[in-house]
Each structure stands twice: as C-alpha cells, then as structure tokens.
Amino acid sequence: MMTSSAAGGSLGLYEEFSVLGTPTRRIAVADESGELPPVPHGFTWRPLSERPVAELRAQAADYRHMAEVAATLTVMAAFFRVAVRLEALAGQREREETRGALRTEAP
C-alpha cells in the first residue's frame, strides 16, 4: 500500500477511487498535515468538494439510511456524522455556485 497526501495539504473529505476510477465508498478526512490513509497501488483519493451538489446530497441520503439500519450505536453515529458532513459540503458548494452565478450576472 502507498501513502497519500491531500493536494496542498488541505483539510477536507476525500473519496477513494479504484484503479478503474470507480468509487470504493471509502471516505477519509485529511489531517492537519494533509496525510490520508494508505491506499492500494493504483487507487487514488479525490476531494469530495469536486463532486456536484446533487451527488453529495444523494450520498448523504445513503449514509442517513445506513445510519437508520445500523446494528450498533457506534456505527449509527459514524454514518450519521458522514451524512452531516456531506450535507454541509453540499450546502457550501451550493452557496459558492449561487455567489458565482450572481457575480456573472452583475453589470
């Protein structure tokens, strides 16, 4: 396995992708140093902030559903925390897109 680091050492949520470019559904948070968990050779981490708002909201809904059917409180809380972070990221992206659209419309 190889160690990965976040682009520019930035904090944030990252999603793991396989060699073929498909999401593995593994999500990680970059620490203060920008380090991410090791990945198998050929796998990559991509910032969730690059995903469209609709995809982030859909994934948040998936994690909320997984939290509802989780077998233990620990797993339920973990899934719920991921859902909340995804929803917050979607809201942030939506605000950024709205501000960008308003700037382009301004005379």
- Could you give the CA distance from residue 49 to residue 12 in angstroms, rounded to a whole number? 8
Enter the pTM of the model: 0.68
Low-confidence stretches of the chain (pLDDT beneath 50): 1-3, 8-9
Query: What is the domain partition of the chain in residue ranges?
Result: 2-50, 53-105
**Backbone Cα Rg of the chain:** 16
The counts of H helices and E strands in the chain are 2, 5
Q: Which amino acid is at 11?
A: L
pLDDT tens digits along 2-16: 445 555 445 588 889
- Could you give the CA distance from residue 84 to residue 53 in angstroms, rounded to a whole number? 14
Give the three-class secondary structure for 7: helix
What pLDDT score was predicted for residue 8?
45
pLDDT tens digits along 40-51: 899 999 888 888
